[in-house]
Amino acid sequence: MSAVPTHALLLEDLPDVAGWLSNLLQQQFPGIHVTHAATLAAGKRALQDAPPAQLALVDLGLPDGDGTTLIAPIAQHWPDCTIVVTTLFGDDAHVFPALRAGAHGYLLKDQPEARLAAALEGILRGEPPLSPAIAQRLLRAFQPVTPEATVGAESLTPRERDVLILVSKGCRLPELADKLQISRHTVSDHLKSIYRKLNINSRAEATLEAARLGLVRL
């Protein structure tokens, strides 16, 4: 984005936060028209009724669904729109799905207002709108595999690799059992073994490990 945006879509359910972000947009882009949607359904209606937006700020935790699901439709309806996630969720389970869906940036709302304002202003200069913590997560995701991690990967059985790949794609236990045609108890045993061998403790870490080992692409 190089020209000053004249219209923005703000997808945010909390009134106080919506007012704060709207004022911030007005300060950074004087004269901008902000269309506010407090729910996923309202956001979908805005795609049909509102003028094309050059900037969209998208919250993820909405009363009627996940804001991530609106990212692709925004890009389809408004191809010139810069889509930036604005959320309190900074974990891998939220960051990577949003970026895979097509978000151009990811900003944490709990960072200092001056930093958030600078990130929005940087959009005009073509700077990637990423909070520092999010940028660090992305860098870690693409760091070379360490010898220790390689040893852990080599110790995985073929079935454990299958489970790890599916977990990194967001599959939950019932779906894992169905796809692999094994019992939920067996899936749980595989997960415990994977976590122990790779020295991880969460599905988010499992996703990163799968990417580092070249099993999936983020």
Task: Report which of 77, 83, 69 is spatially closest to residue 41, judged by C-alpha positions.
Answer: 69
Pairing of strands 105-108, 82-87: parallel
Task: Report which of 78, 66, 52 is spatially closest to residue 13, judged by C-alpha positions.
Answer: 66
Q: Where are the alpha helices (DSSP H) in 8-79?
A: 15-28, 40-49, 71-77
The b/e string for 29-67 (b: 16+ C-beta within 10 A; e otherwise) is beebebbbbbbbebbbebbeebeebbbbbbbbebeeebb
Rg (CA), the chain: 20
Predicted pLDDT of residue 8: 97
Decide if pLDDT at 142 tops 80: no
The b/e string for 86-120 (b: 16+ C-beta within 10 A; e otherwise) is bbebbebebbbbbbebebbbbbbbeeeeeebeebb
Domains annotated for the chain, with CATH where assigned, are: 7-140 (3.40.50.2300), 147-212 (1.10.10.10)
Asked if residue 104 lies in contact with residue 74, where contact means CB atoms within 8 angstroms, the answer is: no
Q: Give the three-state DSSP class for 57.
A: strand
In tens, the pLDDT along 65-122 reads 999 999 999 999 999 999 999 998 887 778 888 888 999 999 988 888 888 888 888 8
Write out the two tokens for 176.
């894992």
In tens, the pLDDT along 39-58 reads 999 999 999 999 999 999 99
Predicted pLDDT of residue 3: 76
